[in-house]
Structure formats: structure tokens, C-alpha cells
């Protein structure tokens, strides 16, 4: 069936969602996602970050849909027309949604291990939520220990349900879910019961924020200071294909390989993730490429880098020329050689 997104028409299979179609179109037309995760069953429809405007329902019923639709759970109809990046309504609503998510989220990015790879950080910047209007008290929870490997920080949870869906996929019985409603809603008690599973560490990779982080990596480094390598080992539980996050010869953490949507390509087992921190345990394939625009690409020597000119002087002290001169000292020579050059320039 045919769908047109932001003026690009493509053919997709029946049952494709608008989000999946938008990912085929690519570029700015791809809506952001916080709860949808293509590797998890029955996932999405929780966060409303992926709203789009359906301007034509289908060939049979061309009426526009009056409300914005969550693209991750809305199926494509033949002849459908959708506005994503070109819809002001969608952009305003997505911005409101991310402001809403930030209401209860602590702004502790400077001390959060997820900083630099947090979907909420990217979302807030993408939607230009630079200032908070929220002055009320934020929701807080008592800290809870869920074992030696995974750190739960419930205050940062945005209730996307990804970890719940992952636990659902991992365990045969229902030992997980969201308890409580409204601002009492939390995932903690049930998640704890799913933690024994060999693949439970994947909750860290699916969590879009810093609510579930790797205890073995806690406060060791910022992700942009590490070097990332694709590596593998023989493993009887998973494929053994991982990314090593290294500092010098030290393996600081091990994660699954993620695609351009920041989703794990394959889930990895806890043994690979937590118990092999020696570089000799791994066959290193080479530097890891990150398709997604991210601060993780700092230090990444797999990409051609353009020369960047930073107008720091202009940005630091806009409008106050005398302060700018004083602080950045453009006329103060840096060394003897420069002193000589300035003198010569003045003489000419």
C-alpha cells in the first residue's frame, strides 16, 4: 500500500506502522520515540513523542484524522497522507509532550551515567525545551537495590514500559509490571523479580533515560571520553557481538550494538555484559561507528571531521564589546613571537 510522508511517497506492506514507514523515508520525517522499541513485542503507544498529523486517512476515506496520531501504533492505510516534520501542530505537541516528561524528571544530567546517550536529553534539545516552567515539587521515590549489576533510579523513570516489555519477553511468568497509578506509578518491585534472568542486563540498554544503568560502570567515565570498539567472543548464551567502551586498555563497560535508532541490534547475555571486563576476553574487530548524531561520536576516529570554527568570543559576551576585549584578550600577545607580530603589524 501507498503512503505519503512529508511529500515522499513509498510502498509498504500491509500492517506497517506510520513510524516504520517514516524510518524508511528517513531524515527529519522520522518522529522521535521514547517508548517504542522495534525489538520488543507489543511496545509503543505510551509516551506520545511520535505524534504525526494524518491529513488524509486513506484513498477510501480521505478525511483527515482530527487528532494527532501516535505513529508507532497507527497502521498505514492505502493512500494515507501524513505530515511529520512539515506539521507545526505535530511539532508543538511533541514539544509539549517532552515538557510534560521533564516535569518529574530530575535535571541531574551532570551526574547521570546516561548523559550523552539519553533519549530524553536528545528529545528536549530537539524540541527546544530549554527552560522549565515547572515550579512544583518533583515526584521522588525511596532508593531500591535490585542487585549487584543494575542500578535503579526510579526518580528518572519516564514510565515508557520498555523494561517491563523486555522482562515480559524474558520470563515465562508474569513477574513484572507497573504498580500504582498517576505519580505513584513505578516499576520497581516487579522488575526485581525478573533480574535473575540471564538476559536481564538488557533493561539497561532499552531504558531511554538513566533510570536503569550499569552498576559496574557507575561514575567511571563519561561516554564521550571512552573509545568504542566492536568486539566478539564465543558465547553459548548469546551471539557474543558487543561494543566495548574502553579507556586505554581498560574495558569500562560492555553493551549491545545499537542501530541508528538507538535500539539494540541483538540482546546480549549478562555474562558477556558484566563478567568479561578483560580485553583479552575479546576479539576486537575495530572502532565502532555510530550512525546517530550523538556526543558519543566525540573521540570517534571512524568519521571524516570537518573543521569547526567556534565563535566563542561572540557567544560568551554578546553585546558587551569592552568585556569581550577584556576577557578574551585578543590584543594581548600569547608569547614573544606573537608580541613581535603585533608590533610589526602596528608599524605598517
User: Pick from 22, 35, 164, 207: which binds ligand FES (CB under 6 A)?
Assistant: 35
Residues facing residue 244 across a β-bridge: 229, 254
Nearer to ligand SF4, 35 or 238 (CB): 35
Determine, following the binding rule CB under 6 A, whether residue 54 of this chain makes contact with ligand FES. no
Determine, following the binding rule CB under 6 A, whether residue 123 of this chain makes contact with ligand FES. no
8 Å CB contact between 326 and 320: no
150 binds, among ligand FES, ligand SF4, none (CB under 5 to 8 A by kind): none
Determine, following the binding rule CB under 6 A, whether residue 187 of this chain makes contact with ligand SF4. yes
Determine, following the binding rule CB under 6 A, whether residue 72 of this chain makes contact with ligand SF4. no
Determine, following the binding rule CB under 6 A, whether residue 162 of this chain makes contact with ligand SF4. yes
Angstrom distance (rounded) from CA 346 to CA 309:
26
Determine, following the binding rule CB under 6 A, whether residue 209 of this chain makes contact with ligand SF4. yes
162 binds, among ligand FES, ligand SF4, none (CB under 5 to 8 A by kind): ligand SF4
Among the listed residues 304, 216, 294, 305, the one whose alpha carbon sits nearest the alpha carbon of residue 259: 294
Determine, following the binding rule CB under 6 A, whether residue 212 of this chain makes contact with ligand SF4. yes
Residue found under cell 518533583: 138
8 Å CB contact between 179 and 227: no
Taking residue 304's Cβ as centre, other Cβ atoms within 10 Å add up to: 5
- Residue 317: all three cell numbers together: 559576551
45 binds, among ligand FES, ligand SF4, none (CB under 5 to 8 A by kind): ligand FES
Angstrom distance (rounded) from CA 167 to CA 200:
7
Nearer to ligand FES, 43 or 231 (CB): 43
8 Å CB contact between 203 and 143: no
- Residue 10: all three cell numbers together: 513509498
Angstrom distance (rounded) from CA 34 to CA 48:
8
| Polymer length in residues for the chain | 348
Nearer to ligand FES, 42 or 321 (CB): 42
Angstrom distance (rounded) from CA 148 to CA 271:
13
Main-chain phi, psi angles of 69, to 5 degrees? -115, 140
33 binds, among ligand FES, ligand SF4, none (CB under 5 to 8 A by kind): ligand FES
Nearer to ligand SF4, 116 or 208 (CB): 208
Closest distance of CB 156 from ligand SF4, Å? 7
Determine, following the binding rule CB under 6 A, whether residue 159 of this chain makes contact with ligand FES. no
Determine, following the binding rule CB under 6 A, whether residue 157 of this chain makes contact with ligand SF4. yes
Residue found under cell 496520531: 69
Determine, following the binding rule CB under 6 A, whether residue 231 of this chain makes contact with ligand FES. no
Binding flags for ligand FES, 61-80, as an x/- string (CB under 6 A): ---------x-x--------
Among the listed residues 232, 248, 326, the one whose alpha carbon sits nearest the alpha carbon of residue 281: 232
CA angle 306, 311, 313 (to 5 degrees): 150
Closest distance of CB 141 from ligand SF4, Å? 11
Number of shown-chain residues binding ligand SF4 (CB under 6 A): 14
User: Pick from 163, 223, 251, 268: which binds ligand SF4 (CB under 6 A)?
Assistant: 163
Site for ligand FES, rule CB under 6 A: 33-36, 44-50, 70, 72
Site for ligand SF4, rule CB under 6 A: 157-163, 187, 206-209, 211-212
Amino acid at each position: 500500500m501507498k503512503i505519503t510522508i512529508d511529500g515522499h511517497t513509498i510502498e509498504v506492506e500491509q500492517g506497517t506502522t506510520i513510524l516504520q514507514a517514516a524510518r524508511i523515508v528517513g531524515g527529519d520525517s522520522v518522529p522521535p520515540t521514547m517508548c517504542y522499541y522495534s525489538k520488543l513485542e507489543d511496545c509503543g503507544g505510551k509516551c506520545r513523542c511520535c505524534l504525526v498529523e494524518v491529513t488524509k486517512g486513506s484513498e477510501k476515506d480521505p478525511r483527515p484524522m482530527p487528532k494527532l496520531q501516535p505513529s508507532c501504533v497507527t497502521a498505514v492505510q492505502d493512500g494515507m497522507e501524513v505530515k511529520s516534520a512539515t506539521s507545526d501542530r505535530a511539532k508543538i505537541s511533541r514539544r509539549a509532550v517532552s515538557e510534560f516528561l521533564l516535569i518529574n524528571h530530575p535535571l541531574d544530567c551532570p551526574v547521570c551515567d546516561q548523559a550523552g546517550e539519553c533519549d530524553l536529553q536528545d528529545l528536549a534539545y530537539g524540541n527546544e525545551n530549554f527552560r522549565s516552567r515547572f515550579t512544583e515539587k518533583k515526584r521522588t521515590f525511596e532508593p531500591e537495590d535490585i542487585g549487584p549489576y543494575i542500578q535503579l533510579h526510579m526518580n528518572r523513570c519516564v514510565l515508557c514500559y520498555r523494561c517491563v516489555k523486555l522482562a515480559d519477553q524474558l520470563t515465562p511468568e508474569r513477574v513484572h509490571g507497573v504498580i500504582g497509578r498517576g505519580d505513584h506509578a513505578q516499576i520497581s518491585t516487579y522488575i526485581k523479580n525478573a533480574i535473575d534472568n540471564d538476559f536481564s542486563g538488557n533493561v539497561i540498554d532499552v531504558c531511554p533515560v538513566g533510570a536503569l544503568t550499569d552498576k559496574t560502570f557507575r561514575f567511571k567515565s563519561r561516554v564521550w571520553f571512552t573509545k568504542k570498539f566492536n568486539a566478539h567472543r564465543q558465547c553459548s548464551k548469546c551471539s557474543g557481538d558487543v561494543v566495548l567502551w574502553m579507556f586505554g586498555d581498560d574495558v569500562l563497560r560492555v553493551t549491545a550494538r545499537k542501530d541508528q535508532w538507538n535500539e539494540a541490534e541483538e540482546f546480549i547475555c549478562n555474562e558477556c555484559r558484566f563478567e568479561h571486563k578483560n580485553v583479552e576476553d575479546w576479539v576486537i574487530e575495530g572502532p565502532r561507528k555510530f550512525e546517530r548524531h550523538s556526543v558519543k561520536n566525540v573521540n570517534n576516529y571512524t568519521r571524516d571531521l570537518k573543521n569547526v570554527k567556534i565563535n566563542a568570543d561572540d557567544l560568551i559576551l554578546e553585546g558587551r564589546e569592552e568585556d569581550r576585549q577584556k576577557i578574551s584578550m585578543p590584543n594581548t600577545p600569547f608569547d614573544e613571537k606573537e608580541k613581535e607580530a603585533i608590533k610589526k603589524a602596528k608599524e605598517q
